[in-house]
Structure 1
Amino acid sequence: MSVGLRSGISALAMTAALLGGSAVAQEALPDIDIAAATPAAAAARAKIEQKQPVRIEAASETVFSGQAVNAVPFARPGEALEIVPGLSVTQHSGEGKANQYFLRGFQLDHGTDFSLTLDGMPINMRTHGHGQGYADANFLIPELLSSVVGRKGPYYADKGDFSSAGAVDMQYIDKLDSGLFRATGGSFAYGRLLGIKSYDVHGGSLLTAIESSVYDGPWTRPDETRKINGVMRWSHGTQEDGVSITGMAYANRWYSTDQIPERAVYSGQLPLWGNVDRTDGGDASRFSLSARWSQVDGAHSSRVEAYAIRSTLDLYNNFTYFLSNPDLGDQFRQFDRRTVLGVNAQHAYKYELAGLPVESRIGLQSRYDNIRLGLQDTYHRTPYDTVSNNQVAEGNVSLWTDTTVHFAPWLRATGGVRFDYFAASVGSLQDALSAPKDEFGNPILTGPANSGSSSGTMGSPKFGLVLGPFERTEFYLNFGEGYHSTDARGTVTHLAPSDGSAASPIPLLVKQRGAEVGAKTSRFVDGLETSVALWWLDNDSENQFEGDSGSTIYGRPSRRYGIEIINHYAPASWLRAEGSVSLSHARYRGYDSETAANYAALVASGAAGYGALIGNAPGNYLDNAPNIIAMGQVEVGEALGPFAALRYRYLGERPLTEDGQIKSPATGTLNLRVGYRFDNGYSIQADAFNITNSRSDMITYGYGSLLPTDKLYGLCKAGLVSSNVCAVGVMDRHFKPMEPPAVRVTISGPLPF
């Protein structure tokens, strides 16, 4: 067996051990190299996964190898995460911006309530220039993944901020003996080069990887994406008993075709692949240095991870076109410059208590963000007003512990708790010269009133119960409380940054609680494993930072519940199938009196005659919350010779406004892969995307905007219509269309030097 694959499985074993599970039986693993397995060695991978006795703590929890991730076609790195059942990943603003995530009735924006980590480093960025929890996964190199662990719900003591809806923990491999070279070219000027190689250095292994890619897309204004990405890791020993030091570097720049108004496309003003502002786009970078130390000593196991991250982001977007500024347009710049320092440490101990096997864990998590961020109004990327400009320092210290007691071979219970302390300081750097001006030319200087400090604490109990196996069936019961942090600027805001109106500060931490009951079974059909989970999640506030206006909305509480069904079927060595469906019901709780008052004012102003009324009535629908997410895929092929994979993803219809009057269409996409693996390690494959030429949307929003061709535009500019109607604009569906069919061809092989 190759050391490359062994290090990947070792990472999975360490994940299992620290989750309280047992290690992988490595001696039973087949002899296969991870580089060769990547194009879809379904049979060998199935054997590997059957040998992994990773202990599962909830019916919805899933563990996948890196080979499983790479066995099916995906168009962008973030879509590799869709291997987690019930998760949908899409994009609305260029190939360098963070993805949009959907999970369990959540439109998670760019990462709120959805935690992503890589090698113990957080990907989510709190108090971010574009949105709370911003999680940019574009720096991922999927071929380096050794394991992906997907967990949902606030039931895990070791998961904190942003994790209540779900958490995905990814691990890179430590070593790849044979190396890997991959070259891809395809439709719409797509190109990618990847090289991975390991070297023996100072008694350890030095893993190096470099990736470069370009992409224009089908848009009338090409994206001109230019990305470069690199990883270097020195490691000694294994994931569960060894050390490593890792450096990563990533840079990307792009133009973006954002969502466009449906009315402009249907009237012929805009082509389907067109845009309103050709200068939208951005640039991003991420540099990190991390280290890991782990040790197993009899019944004790320890792990310490430390990291330092430097990230930057500049975004130029224009979503409302000419609503706020009829002359220059509504483009704005969001910038974020931050340094993140953090540490994760945990210790596990196995012992007996009153004759019962017990496993206890205790952990410490701490993180500090030093952030410079702000919002500016721009014209063709040239700033002319600074709405906000802040220096933020935010940190947390979190302690957690859990204990699992094995009362019988068929019964175990886990109880845990975590305590979180957060503190933040916000200082304004806004000046009168660059601040926005009111109608009389006076500066709207809100920054000094929005400076200050805040803190918050949260205690979160956790509980889990597992019964079985009975007839190859296990039953699970889970309950837990969690939280998400809010944008620190919202906790000290007294004046709205955009217009200087009165605002109320909000709490730094928001409580969430949920439960799940389910089962996993493999007793009905040979080769078929089925999981069913019924879940519920309450949120004390649907609050979010609106980066487009610089304001934080502290929304009403909400409730979500649903059912998730996951199937894995491997009837033969050459055939493997996956299928999942997640049904969700998501609603606000309580009555929205503010929206009702605004709606009454719009009605009195005759807004219906200008297209500004529909979608603004009070209601309880959660915006863009999916009611169904489904996935199905089939893989065929042996370790050598021909192989193929077919993958279908379905994202159901969603309400786009809280009254449900504007809805998105359902989206279904089908991707295909065919290829051939040679016995010398080389392979060729072709990936085809959207092969049915679906004309649905990648993503859809419902809100008001204004174009110069709208009747309301001239009336508002002349002051002939009520200001509250002009502030709303023309309500419409704004969408980014599904990209047309595309093909990418990849040639890969070992690096012998």
Structure 2
Amino acid sequence: MTGVLAHESPELSAVEVRARAENLEGIAASGSEGVVSSQRLAAVPILRPGEALEMVPGLIVTQHAGDGKANQYFLRGFNLDHGTDFATYVGGVPVNMPTHAHGQGYTDLNFLIPELVDRISFRKGPYFAEEGDFSSAGAAHIDYFRSLDASLVQLTMGQNGYARSLLAGSPELGGGQLLYGLELFHNDGPWEVDEHYRKLNGVLRYSRGSRSNGFSLTGMAYQGQWTSTDQIAQRAIDSGQVGRFGTLDPTTGGETHRYSLSGEWAKRWDGAQSKANVWWLKSGLDLWSNFQYCASNGCPPGDQFKQAERRQAGGFAASHAMFDRWGGFEVENSIGLQGRIDHLNPVGLYWTSGRQTQSTVREDKVTQRSLSLWAQNETRWTEWFRSVQGLRADAYDFNVDSSLAANSGKASDQMLTPKLALILGPWKKTELYLNYGHGFHSNDARGTTIKVDPSDGVTPVQAVKPLVRTKGYELGVRSEIVSGWQSTLSLWQLDSASELLFVGDAGTTEPSRPSRRYGVEWTNLYVLADWLAIDADLAWSHARFRDHDPLVGDYIPGAVSTTANIGLTLDHLGPWFGALRLRYFGPRPLIEDNSVRSGASALTNLRLGYKIAPRTQLALDVYNLSDRKVNDIEYWYDSQLAGEGAAVYDRHIHPTEPRTFRVTVSHRF
């Protein structure tokens, strides 16, 4: 692909390489797993690093606050918030943060450097024994390159104070490769109060061998700080109190850091494959938000609050696969062990004004441990039929030392989750998949021991179950009946026993109800010529609470029903290359009775590039090409503006950024 650092020959076009990388016939265990190649990712104009995950079919990535905060994700009828029910890994290190100050499973990908991503392997549904916490809706494993074809220096400039520089390379060292990447970033955004988002980001990886037979040692470091324009009440915009890109609290924002060390090892034996990884992480966040303005404390001082945490975490994963024959049948038997420990000291919620702490709502020390064992058998019964059956066992324990003694305590839970996949084919490059499996997500440790509302220390509060079970079914097909056209179709259903959540904004639990979601996903990649490819990912889902309540309603707030991501990629047009992408984010219910719904949005992004010289290129990215005035996110809740006598239920929105231009010059040496 033009401008991409990769191992494939530069004579191959983007569409040729993409077709190779994403054909999983004879390998996949479901119709909804796949691989996004570095070439495909490089062809996509990305507004924010987390949008790399939008190449996972059906996944929508958006933002409701400052860009330094974790994105908000939507998939398969889930409003995933900041990552709950979608597990994400980078270089073998989990990104989801359990018992996080802001939200369970918080997934901040602002440290990701898209130009260094080798591949994104994704799976959807609870059908895979290797996948554990947060993976009921899906999982994505993002890996960086081990080496680059050439060093890269890149500079991007854009409107509203946007400036980004990247230096990357992979010199040989001691018989291996030393990959390095350093990113400097600044952006003010279109907001009336400049975001002033500053980011310092780096990665250093030493590796030998390959992903299946070698090792790597990786260090990553990221620091960011920003001023945030959070979602604002629609009535404040309509009355002219603030502009569409204005703010009702100019002091909200955040500071964050993340440092990690990890090692990965793999060995290909005669008839076996062993893999292991170990990781350590240190992170912190101070996040100031104000969603209700004057509803609780009046103005002044207002309802600003701070969520903060300091975390150290570590973990490991090891697996061994054996390839054998049982009674004439080819089999692959795998076993794996995974462990993780998180220590937070402290994790807290505070009332603030102008980023100055006024009082402590709650402050806790938390230790959370998990240990998981999984086993899986794959048997090829005939040339056209194979099965994959697995079993996973998870054990969790939580220890909470709270500033409010009544909310201190210990909790533990265990869960067994079976998995089954039946694969038929291929016939004429077509495979059929039948999947069944159980999964789970963990709840916030503080929610498992809570007894009273921390706001008053008296009101009883129901504790949540530590682990919540999910159950899924799927029918899928993968085909390349027409040469050059790869297509998958998946019909799926996912039941959740409960959607009880710990609400970091209030320091308490929020009861919810058992749910059922089902839908269909259709993904396509059609290579029409060596210079032209079209891809289209279309998804529809139906999400409802299962315990019918005619007084409240059965709709799940934020559950999107329709999404689409359609792209056109061009390459090998002399010195020219480009891409055009359309993302459709359908309407969602904002309240259980569906009486209030969000609007839909359709955004088009454009990339137009020109190769100045064999190693130098220029690219123009245009985001929101048609300058549509739509919203990234919408909520429905009560808030009170200054001068109002009481809280008012209203639509609260965070606008999509207007048409934005960025120019990038890249040089390889």
Which TM-score applies when normalising by structure 2? Answer: 0.97
Alpha-carbon distance in structure 1 between the residues aligned to 2:16 and 2:154: 21
What do the CA deviations read for 1:548-605 (whole angstroms, capped 9, x no partner)?
100122311000001111111101000011101110100112155xxx9xxxxxxxxx
How do 1:573-588 residues align onto structure 2 when only pairs under 5 Å count? 573-588=530-545
Q: Which amino acid aligns with 2:39?
A: Q
**Cα distance in 2 for residues equivalent to 1:47 and 1:102:** 26
Look up the SS of the partner of 1:80 in the other structure. helix
Contact 1:462 1:480 in 2 (8 A): yes
Are 2:413 and 1:456 aligned? yes
| Alpha-carbon distance in 2 for matches of 1:672, 1:695 | 17
Are positions 1:562 and 2:500 aligned together?
A: no
Equivalent residue in structure 2 for 1:625, among 559, 563, 577: 559
Structure 1 residue 472: Cα displacement: 1.9
Deviations 1:280-309 (A, max 9, x none): 000110000001111001111101100000
Task: Kindly indicate whether the alpha-carbon contact (under 8 Å) linking 1:292 and 1:305 is maintained by their aligned counterparts in 2.
Answer: yes
* 1:737 maps to which of 655, 660, 666: 655
**Conserved? CA contact 2:514–2:545, under 8 Å:** yes
Give runs of aligned pairs for residues 304-703 of structure 1, distance below 5 A: 304-327=276-299, 328-371=301-344, 372-428=346-402, 430=403, 447-500=404-457, 501-523=459-481, 525-591=482-548, 618-638=552-572, 641-703=575-637
Q: Is the contact made by 1:406 and 1:412 (CA closer than 8 Å) also made in structure 2?
A: yes
Partner AA of 1:482 in structure 2: G
Q: Report the secondary structure of 1:158's partner residue.
A: coil
Cα 1:52–1:109 change in 2 (3 A) is: closer
Work out whether 1:748 is the aligned partner of 2:657.
no
> C-alpha distance in 1, partners of 2:578/2:387?
42
* Cα distance in 2 between the residues matched to 1:692 and 1:451: 53
Give the SS at the match of 2:53. Answer: helix
Q: Secondary structure at the match of 1:45?
A: helix
Contact 2:36 2:119 survives alignment (8 Å): yes
Tell me the CA shift for residue 680 of structure 1.
2.4
SS of 2:171's equivalent in the other structure is: strand
Distance 1:499 1:661 in 2: 33
Instruction: Decide whether aligned partners of structure 1 residues 496 and 454 sit closer, same or farther in structure 2, where only a CA change above 3 A counts.
Output: same
Query: Contact 2:464 / 2:501 at 8 angstroms: preserved in 1?
Result: no
> Which residue in the other structure is 1:32 paired with?
10
Q: Which structure has the greater CA radius of gyration?
A: 1
Aligned partner of residue 125 in structure 1, secondary structure: coil
The one-letter code of the counterpart of 1:366 is G
The structural deviation recorded for 1:54 is 7.1
Hey, what's the Cα distance between the residues in 2 that align with 1:313 and 1:396?
23
State the shift of 1:211 in Å: 0.3
1:285-300 alignment, distance < 5 Å? 285-300=257-272
- Give matches, 1:119-198, under 5 Å: 119-198=91-170
Query: What letter matches 2:602 in structure 1?
Result: G
Q: Secondary structure at the match of 2:170?
A: strand
TM-fit CA distance, 1:51: 7.5
Q: CA 1:561 to 1:44, structure 2 compared with 1: closer, same or farther past 3 Å? A: closer
Q: Which residue does 2:84 correspond to in 1?
A: 112
Alpha-carbon offset, residue 499 of structure 1: 2.6
Q: Deviations 1:11-52 (Å, cap 9, x if unpaired)?
A: xxxxxxxxxxxxxxxxxxx5229xxx9xxx524524643787
Q: Which runs of 4+ in 1 moved over 4 A?
A: 1-4, 50-54
8 A contact 1:651–1:667 mirrored in 2? yes
Deviation at 1:668, TM superposition (A): 0.9
Distance 2:208 2:90 in 1: 19
Give distance in 2, aligned partners of 1:178 and 1:74: 22
CA contact (8 A) 1:3 1:177 kept: no
2: distance between equivalents of 1:140 and 1:207?
A: 15
Is 1:49 aligned to 2:21, yes or no?
Answer: yes
Match of 2:244 in 1: 272
User: Partner amino acid for 1:395?
Assistant: R
User: Would you say the 8 A contact 1:399–1:418 is kept in 2?
Assistant: yes
Distance 2:16 2:521 in 1: 28
Partner of 1:60: 32
Quick one: structure 1 residues 100 and 3, their matched pair in 2 at CA, closer, same or farther if it must change by over 3 Å? closer
The whole-number CA distance in structure 1 between the counterparts of 2:520 and 2:22 is 26
Contact map agreement 2:308 2:349 (CA 8 A) in 1:
yes
Which secondary structure does the structure 1 equivalent of 2:50 belong to? helix
Q: What CA distance in whole angstroms lies between the structure 2 residues aligned with 1:81 and 1:69? A: 9
CA distance in 2, matches of 1:591, 1:676: 57
- Displacement of 1:639 in angstroms is 7.9
Moved more, 198-207 or 78-87: 198-207
Secondary structure at the residue paired with 1:134? coil
Q: Are positions 1:218 and 2:175 aligned together?
A: no
Contact 1:108/1:114, CA 8 A, preserved across alignment: yes
1:336 positional shift: 1.1
Contact 2:4–2:115 (8 Å) recurs in 1: no
Q: Which has the higher helix share?
A: 1
Q: Which amino acid aligns with 1:548?
A: D
Separation (CA, whole Å) in 2 of partners of 1:451 and 1:159: 30
1:693 shift after superposition: 1.0
In 2: Cα distance, 1:138 partner to 1:209 partner: 14
**Shift in Å, 1:56:** 1.2
Deviation at 1:162, TM superposition (A): 0.2
Deviations, residues 620-652 of structure 1 (Å, cap 9, x unaligned): 110110011111000011186101100010111
Q: Which has the higher strand share?
A: 2
How many residues were matched structurally?
Answer: 665
Greater alpha carbon shift after TM alignment, 417-426 vs 659-668? 659-668
Q: Secondary structure at the match of 1:161?
A: coil
Q: Deviations over 1:703-749 (max 9, x none)?
A: 00001243x33xxxxxxxxxxxxxxx211110001110000000001
Preserved contact between residue 32 and residue 44 of structure 1 (Cα < 8 Å)? no
Instruction: Report if aligned partners of 2:522, 2:539 keep a CA contact under 8 Å in 1.
Output: yes
Q: Which residue of 2 aligns with 1:605?
A: none
* 261, 265, 268: which one aligns with 2:233: 261
Q: Which runs of 5+ in 2 are unaligned?
A: none
Of the three residues 170, 174, 190, the one matched with 1:202 is 174
**Does the 8 Å contact 1:113/1:484 carry over to 2?**
yes
Deviations 1:458-517 (A, max 9, x none): 000000011011122111000000000000101111101123311122210011000100
Q: Does the 8 Å CA contact 1:533/1:563 hold for their aligned counterparts?
A: yes
Mapped to 1, the partners of 2:487 and 2:173 lie a distance apart of 45
d(CA) in 1 for partners of 2:501, 2:573: 47
- Structure 1 regions of 5+ residues with no counterpart? 7-29, 431-446, 597-616, 714-728
Residues 57/47 of structure 1: CA separation in 2 closer, same or farther (3 Å cut): closer
Contact 1:321/1:329 (<8 A) preserved: yes
Whole-Å Cα distance in 2 between the matches of residues 120 and 506 of structure 1?
A: 30
Q: C-alpha root-mean-square deviation of aligned residues, in Å?
A: 1.7
